[in-house]
Amino acid sequence: MPAACPASAPELFTWEFATDPYPAYAWLREHSPVHRTALPSGVEAWLVTRYADARQALADTRLSKNPAHHAEPAHARGKTGIPGERKAELMTHLLNIDPPDHTRLRRLVSKAFTPRRVAEFAPRVQELTDRLIDRFAAEGRADLIHDFAFPLPIYAICDLLGVPREDQDDFRDWAGMMIRHGGGPRGGVARSVKKMRGYLAELIHRKREELREDGSDDLISGLIRASDHGEHLTENEAAAMAFILLFAGFETTVNLIGNGVYALLRNPAERARLQRSLDAGDSGLLETGIEELLRYDGPVELATWRFATEPLTLGGRDIETGDPVLVVLAAADRDPARFDDPDTLDLARRDNQHLGYGHGIHYCLGAPLARLEGRTALATLLTRLPDLRLAGEPADLRWRGGLIMRGLRTLPVEFTPRPGAPGTDAASTL
């Protein structure tokens, strides 16, 4: 058991901590870089906060993604991972498995996120972005989370998966429940997961029946074709893969857009610098800027769960078999041992090998799509609403209290009203 930390150790996982966790993470990096703590759920885990240790942990094969390796006490049972995924038989996805199954399943879905496929999807992302802005442009105010950052990736990932347009609002409702309950009761999330599981099972069955007739090339159809042609993909695996791509594919982008816009509003010199670059038709600062926003206040605060399969030493601490390990990406990406002036937003930062989307074999598969959505969203907002500003005081904003993700509950903004597209209204289809 590690030595006790000094009495001045900061309190973690409070609402005040959620608003600005970076001072606490700075203390941990200096005084207790691999830190044993009790999480709000009651589960005890190690927090890894230094960049070098974080990179090591993310790539260490002795740290398994499979929850079966968790030596969990009775009070902690079922309190790791996504609420409801066990009961809904949705555990066999990329966040919960190791090679060789991880290698096999990742290969099946990786073709959906190649640079070519993502580039082909760019016009649809731009169309969604413009139509969402059209809905509130004439109002002069909006909640950028509810009206923009949230629906954009939901509709985009639904299109990629092959969810019919007439069903996508149901997905939006289920996803909204997951976000709203990010720091509260797990029951609401579990119910949404169960509904989503039932829908995905029915959709997979329907697509399998229609596959020979319509030749669809969406991701779910691709998973079905793989399972029908010797890849041994079970229905549970197909449903779990579709589920995690939806779950991981929307909330990270919601937070990238929300946190990114908020960071620009709080750093007016950098925001003006980016607007000048966009006005000049130069996308270079936007490219480096997205990476800096991922580093500075990224969408994923802690990497998803890992469990030690054998005793190991990390950052001078002895980790026992079965211990949970959580890599704090937000802390690692502000480590002054790796980044110059890490608490300063610098959109032109070049040496920026951040860990915002992970590292190693579990590096985020959907990162190219998320980057595309983030670049498109920011460029279009700043171009179409150049005087965008925060409505209210930063102190009044609330951050969701979930363990893994970092994102705002709301982001109220004001701007000079501008006409949307002709015929645009709240009920228009996307």
pLDDT by residue, tens only, the chain of 430 residues = 444 455 578 999 998 999 999 999 999 999 999 999 999 888 999 999 999 999 999 999 999 998 888 877 655 556 666 554 555 445 566 677 778 888 877 887 777 778 888 888 999 999 999 999 999 999 999 999 999 999 999 999 888 888 888 888 887 887 777 665 444 444 566 777 778 888 888 888 888 877 765 567 788 887 777 765 556 667 777 777 777 777 777 888 999 999 999 999 999 999 999 999 999 999 999 999 999 999 999 999 999 899 999 999 999 999 999 999 999 999 999 999 999 999 999 999 999 999 999 998 888 888 889 999 999 999 999 999 999 999 989 999 999 877 888 999 999 999 999 886 655 554 456 7
SS3 319: strand
Q: Cα dist. 26→81, 132, 181, 337, 347 in Å?
A: 26, 38, 28, 12, 22
Using an 8 Å Cβ cutoff, are 148 and 253 in contact?
no
Cα-based torsion angle of the residue sequence 218, 219, 222, 224 in order, rounded to the nearest 10 degrees: -110
Residues in the chain, total: 430
Tokens found for residue 114: 């190649």
Contact yes or no for 57/94 (Cβ under 8 A): no
Tokens 């969408």 sit at which residue? 299
Report the pLDDT value the prediction gives residue 83, as an integer from 0 to 100: 54
Residue 126, both tokens = 């731009």
What confidence score (pLDDT) does residue 204 get?
A: 84
What pLDDT score was predicted for residue 193? Answer: 77
Record the tokens describing residue 135, joined without a space: 């809905």
**Given the DSSP bridges, would you call strands 389-390 and 324-327 parallel, antiparallel or unpaired?**
unpaired
Distance from the Cα of residue 419 to its chain's centroid: 32
Taking alpha carbons only, the member of 91, 137, 62 closest to residue 306 is 62
- Supply the pLDDT for residue 2: 46
